[in-house]
Amino acid sequence: MGWRGALNAGVRHFGRESNIVIYRFVIRAYPAPTHPRFYEWQKATLVLFISDTEPYSAEQKSLLELDRCKWIPESYDLRDILIEDRVRAEGGAILNAYIEAVNTGTFWLESLDSLPMTQKGKKVWGTGPKLNEDFVDSLICDSGGHRVTPEEAGNFEEKNADYVLGSFVLELKQLEQEGLEVPTRQQKISQIFDRYYSDGLVQQIDPYQLNESDFQEYWEVVGIPVQKRIKAASKQVGSTMKRLGGDKYTGGVILLNTGYLSLPHDFLVSMAKRYAAKDTSSISEVIVMSSWTITNGFDTVVNYRFHPHEPISPELTRLKDAFWNAILRKMTQMITGELDISSGMQEAMSPVHFKSDGKAFTFGVPQLDSSLRKKKLGP
């Protein structure tokens, strides 16, 4: 029986007539940053029974209950009305839950997707060294380049680039913050995804479900931080090249992405190359270094990427080789316990969540299969 049919018929709760029915919701969700026990990346399946008189009100109550219990919804996998006769016939745990919802208005059950091997407040081991400006400085040095000197920078009285590497003048720009956390950007993104079907008051942010024109609009919204950095780098690189003799050098930008994790590496590369070609006259080469970590508390995957994958110049080939040699060295030191962690370790990737016009929007986190669970279930 559908929601409308159940409402029209009315439901008898243990011997009494009532317009109150019990709605069941099965929700995929993440812990909120303020959750007392779990990390934000510890995805779970939640089961809620809500006592109410109509579906929309019940769903709103379910969102309020999620807020109260410090959970962020990603999707509603199930919405239905429980039929008392069938629940009583089944008995057991579902009958007990049903009775609790009748008596108190709600029933709550949560189940983590992966075993909670790491308690909140304790560091997750092996998330990988965090990359920073000092790391890039060392790569440039190992590749035969250097930071611009006071003479090359005009005694720093004007805008200048960061590095000279052979025939390249390069400016470093970092992406350290999650771009989807900007309120004005959230509003624009919500307007894009409101054009698409969502099952209720929750919408997953998945740019790959968008049609071509909406994808382009999404690109322009999330690309604002990248575009600003490319334009700023162009001015700095152009100024330094002019002082050094522009015909002798090629301008380039190094984008180091350690924080804008809703922007995949390949997506960022395409975006940066487009803005460099469209908006600048000084940037001919785009170098992108990305790092991110995914974990379930037991299994952890540390990711590093470098573009261009196949450089066409000897200078950038040396830079690429220096990058991967440095990553290998740091990861080996991490495993052996010799890593200097004074510059910090990467934080595991977490979901991005915001609300707009009463609707919840969530950009989720890739999930790892638990190797521990596989071992327990295996032969």
Q: Distance (Å, rounded) from C-alpha 246 to C-alpha 237?
A: 10
- Judged by DSSP in three states, 110 sits in strand
Taking the CB of residue 220, how many other CB atoms lie within 10 A of it?
12
Q: Distance (Å, rounded) from C-alpha 178 to C-alpha 117?
A: 27
Between 212-222 and 224-244, two packed helices, what is the crossing angle to 10 degrees? 60
- Domain extent listing, the chain: 3-112, 133-184+211-352
Q: Which amino acid is at 86?
A: R
Q: Distance (Å, rounded) from C-alpha 6 to C-alpha 2?
A: 6
The two tokens of residue 125 are: 């081991």
- Whether residue 307 contacts residue 286, with contact meaning beta carbons closer than 8 Å, is answered with yes
Residue 18: per-residue pLDDT:
58
Strands (E), the chain: 11-13, 16-18, 21-31, 44-52, 71-81, 106-112, 146-147, 163-165, 168-175, 202-204, 250-257, 285-295, 300-307, 352-356, 359-363
Q: Distance (Å, rounded) from C-alpha 260 to C-alpha 268?
A: 10
Cis peptide before 308 (omega within 30 of 0): yes
Q: Distance (Å, rounded) from C-alpha 182 to C-alpha 263?
A: 14
Q: Of 93, 241, 103, 228, which Cα lies nearest the Cα of 161?
A: 241
Q: Which residues of the chain register pLDDT less than 50?
A: 1-12, 14-17, 376-379
Residue 378: per-residue pLDDT:
47
Q: Of 43, 52, 4, which Cα lies nearest the Cα of 24?
A: 52
Give the pairing type, strands 168-175 and 250-257.
parallel
